Structure 1
């Protein structure tokens, strides 16, 4: 038995897309299968898996027709993915599953997100920014204060003097599990210029990735906060895989703009 797949990325944060419109192909998406599919040696290789399914088939509350059923590379559930939703949206438009001439909604576990697709550039209304307390994160024997920012996923944003100080990030940095009992994405951020930052990220369930959309939003919110910036304000966020732009509006909403690309498609037999 075979199944269809596509491969795409947003600023080199890469994903396998699984068309399963009625939820009849992949069932409950077994975590072991997702982990095998994401493996870069014995699978297709990805930072995560996006199942393309109708909201009516998955049973999630949503006004959108299509739901982004996102899983981390280890098979665990994730609430939201800013780079993934851009790839997901581009796929919907390319396949004629939505009318891309106007903004449209995509359902996620963090609620419905409005998306606008202009060829390979995609803008996502990520919703409200939520700031929390500060805590500590540690890597390579160094410890920094980290800002708690929720942008659909939990984030701990630490400002550093040099991105290299975070080390290889092959090992998950230490963080306060009392603040983040379900794990956390950790961003290490440096200022490059006014309203311009660069970051590296360790994503829970995936390790270090080339980019993180929700993390870029969290980095922009934290930077605007420490910069005492007046909203609305936009930040350029450089990641190892490219650049995205984040606007924090006067009413606390986050608009993420960046590229998306579908690079391959095919069919394969079930992984064991």
Structure 2
């Protein structure tokens, strides 16, 4: 079904550690059909639209080709702010789950599977309550070796070694040398330079400093969205890179501070990454964007 510009449709606005999203309820895939990149850009525009780092279309899995065959009733159809597809969004999937639980579409007292382009992610709600923190099983990370990134700012061009970590989407994690500061990454108005042979679909780049044992802080430039206040998959990639540097620590929590809040990440002995954090829906209405 083609989109009908000017026809009002419902939306919600939510965020996880200030990584914010426009949610579009489209349970049977008849409101938006194939959601266009132009509509995503209009919705995410912070001056002329609703504003957000991305769009989450809430749709039953059976109505999305990318979700068929996945053992989950709901599919998170995620787009970056520029309209491009992304395989996964860690903060977004918590916001997605919060909406489903608040509307009674899932039971928060039981694990909630959500289908994504990176496979099924399972959510658990603290205390079995729709309003508690949410833990997401993000699956097994892939550590794919070292690469390099660079930024050019008013101070000139700087290069750093980075760890290539795949969390269902690609990451380049820069563990900044002691003495460097997060501000050394510059304004991050443009994507850091990277090797397109390593990241043919683009990459999220994280800059990390250590605060204390098992406690790090980060900034991130997300492909398709720019610098964001938080990135859930990025926080997971950062934790894995830091834990690997710490000798492969497992079954311990790392605190990851982001500009928009804090996430708790655990890399388990059976090679799963568990992310715990808040999610909130802050507004709803209708729009004709």
Asked if TM exceeds 0.5, the reply is yes
1:150 aligns with 2:199: no
Q: CA deviation at 1:232?
A: 1.9
Q: How far apart, in 2, do the equivalents of 1:223 and 1:268 lie?
A: 43
Cα deviation, 1:198-247, whole Å, max 9, x if unaligned, reads: 00000000000000000000000000011114312321000000000100
TM-score, L = length of structure 2: 0.92
Q: How far apart, in 2, do the equivalents of 1:253 and 1:127 lie?
A: 5
Cα deviation, 1:9-59, whole Å, max 9, x if unaligned, reads: 000000000000000000100001101110101110000000000001113
1:244 aligns with 2:263: yes
Q: 2:109 aligns with which of 86, 89, 101?
A: 101
1:70 aligns with 2:82: no
CA RMSD after TM alignment: 0.8
Q: How far apart, in 2, do the equivalents of 1:57 and 1:167 lie?
A: 42
Stretches (4+) displaced over 2 A: none
Q: How far apart, in 2, do the equivalents of 1:207 and 1:120 lie?
A: 29
Structure 1: segments with no counterpart, 5+ residues: none
- Secondary structure of 2:107's counterpart equals coil
Q: Indicate the residue corresponding to 1:86 in structure 2.
A: 94
Q: CA deviation at 1:139?
A: 1.0
1:192 aligns with 2:211: yes
Q: Indicate the residue corresponding to 1:42 in structure 2.
A: 48
Q: How far apart, in 2, do the equivalents of 1:31 and 1:173 lie?
A: 23
TM-score, L = length of structure 1: 0.98
Structure 2: segments with no counterpart, 5+ residues: 1-6
- Secondary structure of 2:38's counterpart equals helix
Cα deviation, 1:110-132, whole Å, max 9, x if unaligned, reads: 10111012323100000001000
- Secondary structure of 2:210's counterpart equals strand
1:16 aligns with 2:22: yes
Q: How far apart, in 1, do the equivalents of 2:270 and 2:181 lie?
A: 32
| Contact 1:120/1:261 (8 A) holds in 2 | no
Q: How far apart, in 1, do the equivalents of 2:253 and 2:193 lie?
A: 30
Q: How far apart, in 1, do the equivalents of 2:198 and 2:27 lie?
A: 37
Cα deviation, 1:93-117, whole Å, max 9, x if unaligned, reads: 0000011111110000010111012
1:139 aligns with 2:139: no
1:28 aligns with 2:34: yes
